[in-house]
Amino acid sequence: AQKITQTQPGMFVQEKEAVTLDCTYDTSDPSYGLFWYKQPSSGEMIFLIYQGSYDQQNATEGRYSLNFQKARKSANLVISASQLGDSAMYFCAMRELSTGRRALTFGSGTRLQVQP
């Protein structure tokens, strides 16, 4: 089974509007971390936001927030007030305690295009 599922290959949003990028995950491990990365056309991977499985509150970092619904195993990224520079690929990733290693498992990504 897919560990990380991003069902939206591509999304469009108007500048200044909010957008939600979906991420669902599959794990039986009670201890895990969820991450979102941005990959602009230049190719680098930029860390955006982190959510731990034991965190009581949803994570926020500036215009980024994570809508964490543990029972539904979803960790959607919300970008408020979209900017043209937000156009990029966005990847959801997870690390589980049961894997015994520190590496991340990535989803296939969502390409976001912000329109003026």
Sketch the per residue contact string, 28 through 47, with another protein: x for CB under 8 A, - otherwise: ---xxx-x-x----xxxxxx
Is residue 53 a contact residue for another protein (CB under 8 A)?
A: yes
Tokens for 25, please give them.
Answer: 């995950």
Q: Does 24 bind another protein (CB under 8 A)?
A: no
Tell me how far, at minimum, the Cβ of 53 lies from another protein, in Å: 7
Task: State residue 84 phi and psi, 5-degree precision.
Answer: -55, -35
Please report whether residue 91 would count as binding another protein according to CB under 8 A.
yes
# residues near another protein by CB under 8 A? 28
Q: How far apart are CA 4 and CA 24, in angstroms?
A: 6
Q: Are 19 and 110 in contact (CB under 8 A)?
A: no
Report if residue 86 touches another protein, rule: CB under 8 A: no
Q: Is 102 in the site for another protein (CB under 8 A)?
A: yes
Residue 26's Cα: distance from chain center in Å?
Answer: 14
The dihedral through the CA atoms of 29, 32, 34, 35 has a sign that is negative
In the complex, the residues that contact another protein under the rule CB under 8 A are 4, 31-33, 35, 37, 42-47, 50, 52-53, 91, 93, 95-97, 101-104, 106-109
